[in-house]
Amino acid sequence: MLSLVKKEWFLVGMLVAIGLAVLFPMAGASHGPLHLDQVTQWGIAFVFLLHGVSLSPRDVRKGLSSWRLHLFIQSATFVIYPLIWVLLGHWFEQLLPQALAFGFCFLLILPSTISSSVAMTAIAGGNVPGAIFNASLSSVLGIFLTPLFVQLFMSVTGEHIDIGRTVGHIAVLLLLPMVVGQLIRPFIGEWLAQYKTITSKLDKLVILLIVYNAFCDSVVRGIWHDFDLVTLFTVIVLCLLILLFMIGLLIVLAKFLGFELADQSAGLFCGTKKTLAAGIPMAKAIFGASPMLGMLLLPIMIYHPLQIFICAVLANKLAAKNKNTL
């Protein structure tokens, strides 16, 4: 049990953060004694500074040439996923509480992950430079496209988001630290690489603080009073169905388009992932201390472990398949 907790400490940590929010909501609430709303803002900026330092320009340049792969992955992330909401959004709103339904909308319009997409592609023996380039490109595009989609889809419910302010806030919070990280990479990149085991955990720790803060705000404002286990089970099933649908669709499309196995792997793992690391800070920047934030974050919090587990299984199978074709 201890070995499992040590290996999956982040997933366990999210459950602990939610439990602490139920038991001690006032401590972690925005403007509470811990001031987590301010602490997490600085933590997010620091984490993306580290991402900027660790991102190798050489690896990004290597992935530039695969334009068909780029188009495939970005279309999956910012066209096919949002189309699911366009086609089924009304049904989601009928099935679930409005805040939770919009949490699925937010999940579907998020950019891809960076670290896990690249890691899964590497395990499968796929096109790693292509994965690095597309995961990074997706993160940058998401800074602008995700708030735009939020405005587009929330306008149906009469809500309004100031796009200019939101994009500016997210750019300062995420993009500016990454640019600064790239600028200082030549000076501290090699030194920081020695502490990769430590720095790789910092982003997850910041996310746990944001999760605790978000759920504390939700508990304090009573947003969970009408929430039950049936609703939780429904969210899990819907997340699983969305993930399996996208995996199956991208596998079929990649083969139909004639991608080699290496590009199929990169397309699959970059095209099906949704980022928790950038998604939670984006939600914080867009929705602030909204009492709906806990429910808004629930779908991506459930989707994240599902995509890690299922994609890890697929990566190992693709690795064995690639070895057999050599």
Interval 307-324 mean pLDDT: 75
Model pLDDT, residue 176: 82
pLDDT range class, residue 326, cuts 50, 70, 90: very low
CB-based contact 126:262 (threshold 8 Å): yes
Instruction: Return the pLDDT at 86.
Output: 94
Joined together, the tokens standing for residue 107 give: 């999940």
Type of residue found at 318: L
pLDDT for 226: 57
Phi, psi of 125, deg, nearest 5: 75, 30
Angle formed at CA 20 by CA 112 and CA 278, multiple of 5 degrees: 15
CA distance 193 to 187: 12
Q: What is the DSSP string of 57-92?
A: HHHHHHTTT-HHHHHHHHHIIIIIHHHHHHHHHHHH
**What interhelical angle do 196-220 and 9-23 show, nearest 10?**
30
Domain boundaries, the chain: 10-319
Alpha-carbon distance of 104 to 90, in angstroms, equals 12
- DSSP string spanning 232-262? HHHHHHHHHHHHHHHHHHHHHHHHHTT--HH
Residue 157 confidence (pLDDT): 44
CA distances from residue 93 to 6, 83, 215, 226, 287 in whole angstroms, order as listed = 38, 15, 22, 15, 19
Per-residue pLDDT tens over the stretch 140-191: 888 889 888 988 886 544 445 555 665 666 667 667 887 888 888 888 888 8
pLDDT of 249: 96
Q: How far is CA 195 from the centre of its chain?
A: 24
CA 42 to chain CA mean position, Å: 19
Question: CA 80, CA 82: separation in Å to the nearest integer?
Answer: 6
Plot region of 228 (φ>0 → left; ψ -120 to 50 → alpha; else → beta): beta
More confident residue, 199 or 88: 88
pLDDT tens for 93-147 read 898 888 889 999 999 999 998 767 877 787 787 887 788 788 878 888 888 898 8
Distance CA 318, CA 265 (A): 8
Model pLDDT, residue 320:
72
Cβ-in-10-Å burial (0-12, 13-18, 19+) of 83 comes to exposed
Residue at 122: amino acid letter: A
Average pLDDT over residues 20-24: 87
* Average pLDDT across the chain, whole number: 81
Segment 8-27 shows an average pLDDT of 82
Does position 17 have pLDDT exceeding 60, yes or no? Answer: yes
Closest CA to 259 of 69, 63, 78: 69
pLDDT in tens, 182-224: 888 888 888 887 877 777 677 678 767 877 877 787 677 665 6
DSSP for residue 31: T
Tell me how many degrees the CA angle 88-93-99 measures, rounded to the nearest 5: 125
Residue 90, pLDDT > 70, answer yes
Kindly report which listed range (103-107, 269-273, 279-283) carries the lowest average pLDDT score: 279-283
Q: Which of 18, 213, 199 is nearest to 115 (CA)?
A: 199
Residues 10-319, CATH architecture: Up-down Bundle (1.20)
Q: Give the separation between CA 288 and CA 300, rounded to whole angstroms.
A: 17
- Per-residue pLDDT, 76: 95
